[in-house]
Amino acid sequence: NAATRGIPWLLGGSADLAPSNMTALDGESDFSSGNYAGRVFHFGIREHAMAAIANGMALGGLRPFVATFFVFTDYLRPSMRLAAMMRLPVLYILSHDSIGLGEDGPTHQPVEHLAACRAIPGLSVVRPADAREVAAAYRHALEHSDGPVALVLTRQAVPTLAETAQAAVAKGAYVLRDAPEGRPDVLLMASGSEVSLCLKAADELATRGIGARVVSMPCFEWFARQSEEYRNEVLPPAVTARVAVAAAVRQSWDAFLGPAGRFVGMDRFGASAPYGELYRRFGITVEAIVAAAEEVTTRAT
């Protein structure tokens, strides 16, 4: 809503999920055959058509956004792929991003979708850790028009982190919290809702004499555009003890983990239960992160 007030050519809608995606535009009218001035589009339950329409809008000079649950990118991916191919500035707002959506169960819980979307050349996949990173991601996405951006958001509430560096979100990854004197024994890497788990794990590791650097990695594609110097500053090559945490499959993390790293995340489909129970069931916990960090740190020494 804040963005649409400042960008009159920003318009769009959801695939019949606006209340769940929280993409309703306050005070704006619906686009219809009788109202071409409307900025709110009711696309209906047809994700592929919605994304294809957005491509046409972008080709016409508008700045469209479309929204649905992340798992339903399976239905719109051909249009998303074409947007990336044509470098169209389409904004995809994709909520309910993991097993964290809870009781809807495995049919609605995206597990492989982060890897699938990151595999599309030219698509920037942004998974913010908290509200501040969300705001920064919106800003960076709307300031650029060189390709589509997928903004991947949680359903469950996540804490607003004191350490968030909004200006660094545009770099794709940054040091959220460093080890004492900037000399980490282990790197803890995550995006989205798992970043807060890494911060808690770092606290526990500190009590065991292990210095952890927590790296928030909201967008791999933006990080890849940074200089080699910056990338090595965030992820020092000399620190081979690394743990990546994601409520998703491992694919796309190996480039950062290296041969000695450990992954804490999913290797199967989800289940129906409250999200806290699911995180425990699938081993995405502070305790699991700490154990993985101790293992890789021991191997590295």
Cα–Cα distance, 175 to 129 (Å, whole number) = 13
Cα–Cα distance, 21 to 180 (Å, whole number) = 40
Q: Give the contacts of 60 (CB within 8 A, at least 6 positions apart).
A: none
Q: Which of 47, 133, 194, 294 is catalytic?
A: 47
Q: Give the contacts of 30 (CB within 8 A, at least 6 positions apart).
A: 38, 40, 41, 42
DSSP bridge partners of 186 = 212
Q: How far apart are the first and last CA of the chain?
A: 51
Nearest in space to 169 (alpha carbons), one of 133, 139, 130, 123: 133
**Strands 63-69 and 242-245, sheet pairing:** unpaired
47 carries an active-site annotation:
yes
Within 91-209, strands assigned E span 91-95, 124-126, 149-152, 174-177, 186-190
Query: Looking at the annotation, which residues are catalytic?
Result: 47
